[in-house]
Amino acid sequence: MSVREERRAETAKGERLADWADGRLGIYSLAKANMRKVFPDHWSFMLGEVCLYSFLVLIITGVYLTLFFEPSGVEVVYHGSYEPLNGIIMTRAYESTLDISFDVRGGLLIRQIHHWAALVFLAGMLVHMMRVFFTGAFRKPREVNWLFGWTLLMLGLLTGLTGYSLPDDLLSGTGVRFAQGAILSIPVVGTYISFFLFGGEFPGHDIIPRFFPIHVLLLPGIMLGLVVAHLILVFYHKHTQYPGAGKDEKSVVGMPFMPVYMAKAGGFFFLVFGVLSIMGAIATVNPVWAFGPYRPDLVT
């Protein structure tokens, strides 16, 4: 069989597969209707993309960190690469954080990219929602998407709290202690809730193992679902756009989704990832080794 005949055979197989999928899923008609959808081209719409790409970076780096972090409140004596803390009693969670920072190849870089991405994610959501609010883009029919965004912001704050509490250093331990104090202040049921969450008196051995699945599974899973729903509604309703010639709610002026918008979006993702990587490489954030393990008598 010649090369030309082989290509024809492969093309025929591809066409048969495409026809099979289209007959059952309606892919062709769906793609024809949506791949050429037009999106307005304005720099302020990139704020939402910064949030999305930071969230993707958080997932990627978080998966890497999960492979090495041990969420345990069991006390151990540290004997590791960071000599100033050798011989100090600390939790296994804090010890594994130090191991990630000093012994895992690229661990400190990934930790710092993860932390910077979390900060950029929350800051980006706040600025993005300010743009939506002050331009009135939250009005009908987009009010449901506005509620999705507000929920994502609140969940992002909770995910940040559980995430920075996991290393169990002096800073995060103090934050958890503050959170426990706020829970205790709830009338009537505060004490019961605190004992339920912490498994007894503060700090207990249960809070870090409980924070871990909440941080890596529960909250990110809910947020991922909300992000998908948010993007579907954005795609369905189209972006709101600034006033101009030929622009209104029903006619959008801009670039088509494929291939222009997707090419720009892909390039912008790598740009955001690159900036976060540079920040993680040159700007120290959350140096847990400088804080030491959590001890109430060292809190200033």
Question: Tell me: the pLDDT tens digits for 111-136?
Answer: 999 999 999 999 999 999 999 999 88
Please indicate whether residue 127 or residue 300 has the higher confidence score (pLDDT): 127
Q: What percent of the chain has pLDDT over 70?
A: 89
> Which tops the pLDDT comparison, 245 or 103?
103
pLDDT at residue 69 is higher than 60: yes
What CATH number matches the domain at 41-298, 3.40.50.620, 3.30.360.10, 1.20.810.10, 3.50.30.30? 1.20.810.10
Whole-angstrom distance, CA of residue 15 vs CA of residue 88: 66
* Overall average pLDDT of the 14-29 stretch: 71
The rounded mean pLDDT for the chain is 88
The type of residue at 136 is G
For the entire predicted model, the pTM comes to 0.86
Residue 198 has pLDDT above 90, yes or no: no
* CATH 1.20.810.10-classified regions of the chain: 41-298
Please compute the mean of the pLDDT values over residues 161-188 and round it to a whole number: 92
**pLDDT, tens digit (0-9, with 9 covering 90-100), for 221-235:** 999 999 999 998 888
**pLDDT value at position 246?**
67
